[in-house]
Structure 1
Amino acid sequence: MKGSFRRRGCTCKKKRCTCGSKWTYRYSIIDPATGKRKQKETSGFATKAEAEQEALRIQGELQQGTYIEEKNTTFQEFALEWLSGYEKSGKVKQSTIDIRKSKLRYLTKHFGGIKIKDISKLMYQRFLDELAQNLARKTVSSIHEVGSLIFKKAVELEIISKDITEHVEIPKKIETVEDLENQEELPRYLEKEELKQFLKSAKESINPLDFPIFLILAYTGLRIGELCALKWRDVNFEEQTLSITKTIYNRRNKSGDYLLHTPKTRSSKRIIDVDDLVLDVLKQYRRSQKVVNLDDRENHFIFTDDKKSGPLTTYYIYRRMQKLLKKSGIKHRISPHSLRHTHTSLLAEAGVSLEVIQHRLGHQNDRITRNIYLHVTKPKRKEASQKFAKLMGGI
């Protein structure tokens, strides 16, 4: 085989290396600019066999004329270049860009000063393994998505010759029996009586926003961003419907600092039916808006901040919910999104079909809807237990 192999930086006096230095493959290519031969090398291999496998690939590409001379760009340099193009593409929402930025920090902290061509599949896999020790698998997967986007773009631009993020494994924590036994199940939704109790507290609140906001969330299953983005023109009082065409994104949880995005998925754009109670509460709230002059006359958002005259932030609604939960004596750790789960559970208890619930929630696939659909309420769980006991007839 053309080229040579060696352990770079090995200081061992004996033939058997114990210092842990990596293998390097050194070879020569013809510089297309000068026509002269020049030396190249690729390193970072844990074993000689890995280096030899890479050598076979390189020599094969040289013979076929498909070889790409990898650049000396560091990971951080290229990652910043990739991010700039990603932001300017106009194909992704600002909320997605912000999430990608936060995950990119993990990658640049670990690989920042390393030449992107010198990052091996083994190095990348070990990086993911280390992350998995302290982070949730979903978070590690999200970081890997960013890494994959960067390396794929580097291959596309011929900065490197191969994508080392392909076929890596996202580590999965193996749960022990002790983990499962000690795991506290946190309620993600309210039972029917708890919901009544919560809405009663909202109705009695001196804050005029509380009752209409939480009634709509509970009675429609809207996402909190969809609720904040609602405008009066989205309400059809004659047809008794709400049109869901947008969602709000608060970058810094500050009123006035927001972006309107298209819905989360294609199926999230929908028209849903609402009952008389929701419409009556909305009518009453609109009348009170006009009396105290709090309506946002420019954009006509339904729920507005009286100081900034813009839509409410999602964080504001979260804080109001925590206060109302405390007031109503409900100790569950839940968020406004939990009312969406509550809506689904109670619809299931009422016998509404999965297809109707799926459309109402604006879910893209059956899996998500089914998972929430199976959040059976307390009466259903007791009924199942009692039916089984009755079937067995005792022992």
Structure 2
Amino acid sequence: MASFQRYTTKQGQMWLFKMDTGINPQTGKRKTTTRRGFKTKKEAQIAANKLEQELISGTSIDNINITFEDVFTQWFSSHSKTIKPSTRKSIESKFKKHILPRFGKLKINEITKAYCQKMINEIAEIITSVNDIKIQANQIFKYAVKMDIIQKNPLEYVSIPKQQKDLINEDNHVNQRNYWKKDEVKQFLAITRQELSLRDHTLFHLLIYTGARKGELLALKWDDIDFETGFIRLTKTLFHNEGKFIFQTSKTKESKRLISLDTKTLSLLKKWRVEQIQANLANVGNNSESKIIFTRDDGSPMRLAYLNDKLSAVIKKYKLHRITIHGLRHTHASLLFEAGASIKEVQERLGHSDIQMTMNIYTHVTDDLKEQTTEKFQRYIEL
């Protein structure tokens, strides 16, 4: 809304108007513009209305040269203060690799829906997590709308193209499973028991028997294990950033959880603790690292990529069905479902904040569970 004022010059009475033109994306502060030199109030009103329309359409001189990267810089400077270092690093990586090279230098008010769809299609051909890229880029456009830099979000109605893996038939889909069946788990653990150190075997055993994330296990301290009650407390995760190890609290309150351990797992942990103490790894110094359950030989935290490398090496050597470290978490969930656990029980054990995440795993349960379902139906209908 403009305000109008009459003022005196050597040439006589003139009119001016002042108008709020939105928020400056570089400073985050509201801007006010003043336009002078109008002979009548009506002329000033006409000019003010024209400027207001330009601001609404995003064609104002104040907004016309603002790039996508300008808006990203302003948005990220405040948003980064509200998130954890691991999340900040992940977001920066996505923008640096996929978003800024395609959008960064473009004037944000000139980016069209067609261009956004084209870019999303291109990214979908490179990576499977294209939806996450869209979510991140969309935050910038939403911020630009909020700050009156643009009127409409060109990314809002862009669709995610179907991934090839979503179009394959059921027979081919079986080969894409990212989990192991029960016999495959037994084979793998038998190999790790013989081939790997007790520390590494214990880590893989825990990944399969608890469904915990690798970062959660590598952040564990001995006081997180209650050997009396048989519970393990998962409240933090290990993160590596710029050469430093950081212990972060869990991402959500659901991720902070207390889960039970079976006697076999407890026995294996006790055995590892004895070996660790004998190797003098549990008593190095007085810092927090000295209490970490799984460490390097010098007592420092382990690399997050270490388990990925070990898993890949074992799979390659013994020609096992290929899965990822995260696939061991899916394996735990699938075996829980086979054992008769409810969706809610699996959700709580895995620390999913959204039950849909658990449901997604449930839809990819093993063939054995599908066969059991068929057999249950047959037995019931033939009674």
Q: 1:30 to 1:130 in 2, by over 3 A?
A: farther
* Partner of residue 208 from structure 1, selected from 198, 203, 207: 198
* Partner of residue 114 from structure 1, selected from 93, 106, 115: 106
> Which deviates more from structure 2 when the two are superposed, residues 312-321 or residues 351-360?
351-360
What's 1:75 paired with? 68
* Partner of residue 154 from structure 1, selected from 130, 144, 149: 144
Matches within 5 A, 1:1-395: 32-36=33-37, 62=52, 69=60, 70-71=62-63, 72-87=65-80, 89=81, 91-105=82-96, 106-132=98-124, 134-136=125-127, 138-139=129-130, 141-158=131-148, 160-165=149-154, 167-173=156-162, 179-180=168-169, 183=172, 185-251=175-241, 257-295=244-282, 297=285, 298-299=287-288, 300-307=291-298, 309-327=299-317, 329-385=318-374
2:145–2:153 contact (8 Å) kept in structure 1: no
1:268–1:363 contact (8 Å) kept in structure 2: yes
What's 1:50 paired with? none
Deviations 1:147-182 (A, max 9, x none): 222223334444x14242453222323869984389
Structure 2 counterpart of 1:301, which letter?
I
Deviations 1:42-80 (A, max 9, x none): xxxxxxxxxxxxxxxx96983899898442223233323
What's 2:30 paired with? none
Q: 1:130 to 1:177 in 2, by over 3 A?
A: closer
Q: SS state of the match for residue 247, structure 2?
A: strand
2:138–2:156 contact (8 Å) kept in structure 1: no
Looking at structure 2, the residues matched to 222 and 362 of structure 1 have their Cα atoms a distance apart, in angstroms, of 8
1:30–1:36 contact (8 Å) kept in structure 2: no
Looking at structure 1, the residues matched to 143 and 367 of structure 2 have their Cα atoms a distance apart, in angstroms, of 50
Q: Following TM superposition, by how much is the alpha carbon of 1:227 offset from its aligned partner in structure 2, in angstroms?
A: 0.9
Q: 1:30 to 1:166 in 2, by over 3 A?
A: farther
Q: SS state of the match for residue 325, structure 2?
A: coil
What's 1:10 paired with? none
Looking at structure 2, the residues matched to 181 and 356 of structure 1 have their Cα atoms a distance apart, in angstroms, of 28
Q: Following TM superposition, by how much is the alpha carbon of 1:374 offset from its aligned partner in structure 2, in angstroms?
A: 4.1
Q: Following TM superposition, by how much is the alpha carbon of 1:289 offset from its aligned partner in structure 2, in angstroms?
A: 1.0
Q: 1:269 to 1:174 in 2, by over 3 A?
A: closer
Q: Following TM superposition, by how much is the alpha carbon of 1:242 offset from its aligned partner in structure 2, in angstroms?
A: 0.5
Please, which runs of 5 or more residues in structure 1 have no aligned partner? 1-28, 38-57
Q: SS state of the match for residue 35, structure 2?
A: coil
Q: What TM-score results when the alignment is normalised by the length of structure 1?
A: 0.73
Q: Following TM superposition, by how much is the alpha carbon of 1:378 offset from its aligned partner in structure 2, in angstroms?
A: 4.3
Looking at structure 1, the residues matched to 244 and 165 of structure 2 have their Cα atoms a distance apart, in angstroms, of 45
How many residues in Structure 1 have an aligned counterpart in Structure 2? 335
1:186–1:333 contact (8 Å) kept in structure 2: no
Deviations 1:284-339 (A, max 9, x none): 111111111123652211101124x3222221011122233345x35211122222
Q: 1:170 to 1:251 in 2, by over 3 A?
A: farther
Q: 1:213 to 1:107 in 2, by over 3 A?
A: closer
Structure 2 counterpart of 1:220, which letter?
T
Q: What TM-score results when the alignment is normalised by the length of structure 2?
A: 0.75
Looking at structure 2, the residues matched to 176 and 316 of structure 1 have their Cα atoms a distance apart, in angstroms, of 28
Q: Percent identity?
A: 33
2:56–2:151 contact (8 Å) kept in structure 1: no
Looking at structure 2, the residues matched to 176 and 362 of structure 1 have their Cα atoms a distance apart, in angstroms, of 27
Q: Following TM superposition, by how much is the alpha carbon of 1:245 offset from its aligned partner in structure 2, in angstroms?
A: 0.4
Q: 1:164 to 1:270 in 2, by over 3 A?
A: same
2:207–2:329 contact (8 Å) kept in structure 1: yes
Structure 1 counterpart of 2:71, which letter?
F
Two-structure CA RMSD over aligned residues (Å)? 3.4
Structure 1 counterpart of 2:334, which letter?
S
Deviations 1:83-106 (A, max 9, x none): 33333x2x1122222222222233
1:124–1:164 contact (8 Å) kept in structure 2: no
Q: 1:123 to 1:325 in 2, by over 3 A?
A: closer
Please, which runs of 5 or more residues in structure 2 have no aligned partner? 1-16, 20-32, 39-47
Q: SS state of the match for residue 34, structure 1?
A: strand
